[in-house]
Structure formats: structure tokens, C-alpha cells
Amino acid sequence: MRRSRWALGLIATALSVAGCSPDVSSPEPDESTHAQHASLDAAWAAGVFYPVGTRVTYVGRTYECRQAHTSQADWMPSAVAALWLDLGPATGGSDAGTGGNDAGTGGNDGGTTGDTTAPTANIGASATRFTAAGSLTVTASATDNVGVTRVEILENGAVVATGSQFSRAFSDSTQNGTYVYAVRAYDAAGNVGTKTVTVVVELPGGNPGGGKKLIAYFTAWGIYGRNYPVSNVPAAKLTHINYAFSNISSEGKCVLGDVFADIDKGGGWAGEWNPGQLRGNFRAFKELKRTHPHLKLLISVGGWSWSTHFSTVAATAAKRAAFVKSCVDLYIRGQYPGVDPVNGAGVFDGIDIDWEYPVGGGLPGNSNSPADKQNYTLLMEEFRSQLNAVTAQTGQRYLLTIASGASPDLLVNKQETKRLSDVLDWINVMTYDYHGAFESTVNFHSPLYRVTGDPGAGDGFYSDATVAKMLELGVPPAKVVLGVPFYGRGWGSVPNVNNGLFQSGVPTKGTWDDGSSGLTGVFDYKDIKVNYERAGSGYTKFFHPESKQAYVYSPSTRVWIAYDDPQSLSAKSDYILNKGLGGAMFWELSGDDGSLVEALYQKLH
């Protein structure tokens, strides 16, 4: 297969930035570059400056430089047709050198109009599923109409062997996970053939969570002002991560939420700036999963800000099929813009849909329809169907989940909660944000149980009521994952009555509020711990025995904030265990100082 146009374009663009545009004659580098200068018809080497027209030999063939550049280790003439014109065998013959009718641009094997047939690659594994300790041997082979020049074996996207065989041992449950092995075979013309095989490792022993899921949301924007990179993730204490978020275009397709954060930000990986390589948070998570193979990563689609088009894409069978295909191609097949799918595949293990909300609610301007209730189920069935089709090709099973609103009214009237659970692996129920500064009465935003005197209790706005409704509707307990917040919600101008609880209040400035956000009253847990719990802050901390939430209040500032702390999460973990629920989900990692994850891990591990 010929290299795609976007790959050649990326190389040309990179060279233009470096002063090597094919349309501008490039001066030779000065001595400060420490690059060698090429001699005529010498063997190709890395670290050499090649002017346009220079000829080299490589793997028995002669190439002519098409764009002035200083060579890099991975820019071999056979691999980068944008830089090198293939003139044919170095020993001469009808298609080599400067003579003959087919030199350089013609003939059966000359230049970019010659060999366009990729090698046929094959790969096999000694076993594709391990339920007991053992050794794996991966065997690769390839054939080509002209000749194979190199064969590589990759494990989850990383080259682990150059040659026909790779072996490794699986000895304990810390290695559990899905391993995608690929063979990549090259010919002298730069064509590449690939094939994959999937190996699943399920050794006995306790993974984090001890059968209970511990699911974290990671926000793409956390790498900016919050300074929370992927390297901060406590992977050993989590079972799953939902990456927030994928957007949905007006054309009804899944699109990257932040191209730079997702796939472009450099991370210091070898060869990361070569054409077709994956970078950004996605690359960082791919690397993290290599050292923590039990960890599963799902892309979360939508969210509060990007649920605008859900109703539209779910409205008809054709739109559902097209939308789902775009999500599966992008995130499961790894077809990211500018990235070779061989490098892009293996990042995500499933898809999490966060539609806020079917039928109604969410941001003004969101599309909505009464038919959303049924169409949501049909959309999830389409996701399951297309994910199963990929499984048939790769052997890997892909997860499908949703983040559901917690309102009993939504669970009954705005989505087919039981039918959804039949299709999904589990439901992350957002048992938080029951109350907040969007209301004028101070209240707990994530109470576990009904609170005496709570004016909103009759609506079922507490976690136990939500869970009870889901179980009443027939959702299996193991498919209910309880949401817990790593943030608090607060009010200002709260009278000093009943320590502020159930009093009047107004929006107040939260941790990250600025002129664009307005006053949300949302506080990171780590902010509350450092600035509101500390002695001398003027705030008193309380723990409510019914809500199982902590809160702080200051009569002088008249600010009141409710939140989950380690004591809260211990109580909610006990609830999960007693009810036989699937586990805990939390929003989101960057709000913690480590103590909240630890509290969940200690109880659910």
C-alpha cells in the first residue's frame, strides 16, 4: 500500500518548518549543526546533511534526495518517499541510474510510480487467552512481490522485537489485561503491511477494587491551569478511567475535544515527532496502560457542554449508524487525524456516553425530543453492535457504559433505564449535584440518605433513593456504579442559623471561578482541605450523620460548603458493599490530593 497523502504532507510540512521546503533552496547547515555532509553515492546514514540531487545507496538500492534535509534515524530512504526518489537496484540494470527509459520516474520498480504493493503480513500467538501463569510466543512472517526488508513485532503499539519472534511470560494478576500484538512488514519501496492478534490475560488474584470497579474521570483540560498530567494518575488504585470528553460535530460525528491535549502535546517519547506518531494524553495513557495492564480506558462522549447534538444523531437508524461508526473509527480503531492507525489503535478499551440529558434538560440550545427516551436505547444497541463487529476482528471485547442522571424522574420518564442496562456493561449514576448554588436554599449536593428537614427529600434527591429506583426498575445491582464527587458545592450570604443548613444563600466564588465562569460555588476537595478545614481559617467543620457528607461554615464570611471527605467515602463504600453495587465512579481526579482515592481503594480493594 502506498503511503497516504496525509503522511507525505506531514513530512513536507515538518521539513518546511525546519527550512527544508522543496520550493526553497536550503543552505547547507553551518558547523553548529554538527551534521556531516553527504558524499556522492555513499551509503545512507543518519545525521548527514543531504542537498537536493544527492544519491545514496540503501539496502541494495539507489535513491536521490528530493528535499534538502539532515537525516534522522527513522527517515530511511525506503520509508520516506517524500524525501527520497527510488532509482532502482544499486547494481544497475534497466531501471537504475540515470540511463534507460525507466530511470527514476518510470519502469516497473522506479520511483513513486513503481512498487505499490505492500507485503502480506501474518502473525500468530501460542495462546490467545491466559487464565493461568505461562509463557507467550508471538511468531511473525511476511512475503512480498519484490522482497521484505524489515519485520517488526509490536505490543500495544510499541516495538518489542525486530525479527520473526517475540516471547514473554505472564506470572501474576498485576499483568492482567488485553495485549494487541502487531506485525509490521516493510519492503524496499516503503510499503508497509500489518496484521494483529489479541491476547487476553486473566490470571487469578486481586486486581485493584477486589471485584468492585473504581472509575475515575480524567479531564483533558486538567493538563493546563490545574497542572494535572497523566503521570499524576494513581493507576494502581483504579480499575477504569473515563477520558472527558469527545465532542460531537454539527455533522453528527465524533470529533476530538482538544486536538493538542489529546494527540499532539509532546511527552518526550522516542521518535514522537516522526510522521504518523501519536502524542498527547492519548499516548501518555497508552504508555501508562503498558505498565498497568489491568487499567481500562474509555472515551467519554458529550458531557454537560457537548451534549448539543445527541438527540439529532440518535433520531434515525441511518444517523445512529453513521455517528457510532465515526466514534468507533476514531477512538477504537485509532483513526486520529495525522496518526498512523497502527500507532493510534489500543488507546481506548470502550466508550462511555454522557448525554446530559435525553428528552430535556442540560444546556439551552441542546437538541431534544420526546422520542429520545426510546432512541437512547436504540443508539446504545447500535454501539454494542458495531463494537461487537470490531471484537470479531481483534478478539478484544470493548466496554460500553453511560453516565446517567440521578433524578428518579429521569430514570423513569426520560430513558429506558432497565433496557439500557441490558445493553450496557454498567451505568455510572451521577449521584451528586442534587443541589447547588443554582438554587436559593442551602443543601447537601450528594447526600447518601434522606436528611430530616430536607425540603427536597420528597423528590428523591439523595443517593439511596436513586439506587432504590434503579433496582426497582430491574437494573442488576452489579450494573449500578455509585457516583461520588471530589468537589464541594457552596453558597454565600448564608445566615448563621442551624450552622447554615437549609438556609437561604446566593452563588459564591468557587476554586476556579473567573469572569467567564461566573460564581458557581464549586470547590475542589483539595482546596477545601487546605483553606477551609485548617485551623485558624475561621471555618468549622461538621459531619452530618444522615447525609454522610461533611460541610464547613463560617459565621463571619457566611460561606457554607458541603462535600465528600474520607469519612464520607468510607460510608459510601460500605453502602456499595452492602447493596452489592458494581463500584464507585468519581468526578474527577484533579480535585483530589490523593486521600479520597485512597479512602475508596482501602474499602473497595
Q: Is the pLDDT of residue 536 over 60?
A: yes
State the sign of the Cα–Cα–Cα–Cα dihedral 574, 580, 581, 583: positive
pLDDT at position 74 is: 61
Selected residue with higher pLDDT from 56 and 375: 375
- Give me the chain's average pLDDT, please: 87
Q: Is the pLDDT of residue 209 over 90?
A: no
Q: Is the pLDDT of residue 225 over 50?
A: yes
Ranking 115-129, 255-269, 311-325, 440-454 by mean pLDDT, the lowest is 115-129
CA atoms within 13 A on the CB side of 219: 18
37 falls in which pLDDT band (50, 70, 90)?
A: very low
Name the 3-class secondary structure at 220: helix
pLDDT at position 200 is: 81
72 falls in which pLDDT band (50, 70, 90)?
A: low
Count the Cβ atoms, other than its own, within 10 Å of residue 541. 16
Please state which CATH number belongs to domain 5-113.
2.10.10.20
**390 to each of 168, 239, 326, 345, 349, how far by Cα in Å?**
26, 23, 13, 12, 11
Please state which CATH number belongs to domain 120-201.
2.60.40.10
**31 is known as an active-site residue:** no
Question: Do the Cβ atoms of 11 and 82 come closer than 8 Å?
Answer: yes
Residue 12's H or E segment, with its range, is helix 5-17
Cα 413 from chain centroid (whole Å): 32
Is pTM, for the whole model, over 0.75? no
355 falls in which pLDDT band (50, 70, 90)?
A: very high
Question: Do the Cβ atoms of 552 and 561 come closer than 8 Å?
Answer: yes
- What is the C-alpha to C-alpha distance for residues 103 and 85, in angstroms, rounded to an integer? 10
443-490 residue pLDDT tens = 999 999 999 999 989 999 999 999 999 999 999 999 999 999 999 999
Residue 141 CB-density burial (10 A; 0-12 exposed, 13-18 middle, 19+ buried):
middle
Q: Is the pLDDT of residue 419 over 90?
A: yes
Query: What phi and psi values does residue 596 have, to the nearest 5 degrees?
Result: -75, -45
pLDDT at position 157 is: 65
pLDDT at position 243 is: 98
Superfamily of domain 219-430 in CATH is Glycosidases (3.20.20.80)
Please give the class, per CATH, of domain 475-605: alpha beta
How large is the C-alpha radius of gyration of the chain? 29
235 falls in which pLDDT band (50, 70, 90)?
A: very high
Taking residues 403-414, what's their average pLDDT?
A: 97
Contacts of 95 (CB under 8 A, 6+ apart): 87, 88, 89, 102, 103, 106, 107, 108, 109, 110, 114
Q: Is the pLDDT of residue 68 over 70?
A: no
Nearest C-alpha neighbor of 238 from the set 272, 212, 199: 212
597 falls in which pLDDT band (50, 70, 90)?
A: very high
Q: Is the pLDDT of residue 206 over 90?
A: no
Question: Do the Cβ atoms of 477 and 581 come closer than 8 Å?
Answer: yes
| Given 155, 356, 416, 588, the catalytic residue | 356
Sheet holding 134-143, edge to edge: 120-125, 134-143, 165-170
291-315 residue pLDDT tens = 999 999 999 999 999 999 999 999 9
**184 to each of 151, 161, 339, 478, how far by Cα in Å?**
6, 11, 16, 41
210 falls in which pLDDT band (50, 70, 90)?
A: low
> Can the peptide bond before residue 245 be classed as cis, meaning omega within 30 degrees of 0?
yes
Question: Do the Cβ atoms of 301 and 248 come closer than 8 Å?
Answer: yes
For the chain, the structural domain boundaries read 5-113, 120-201, 219-430, 475-605
pLDDT at position 424 is: 96
pLDDT at position 325 is: 97
**317 to each of 314, 330, 378, 587, how far by Cα in Å?**
8, 20, 8, 32
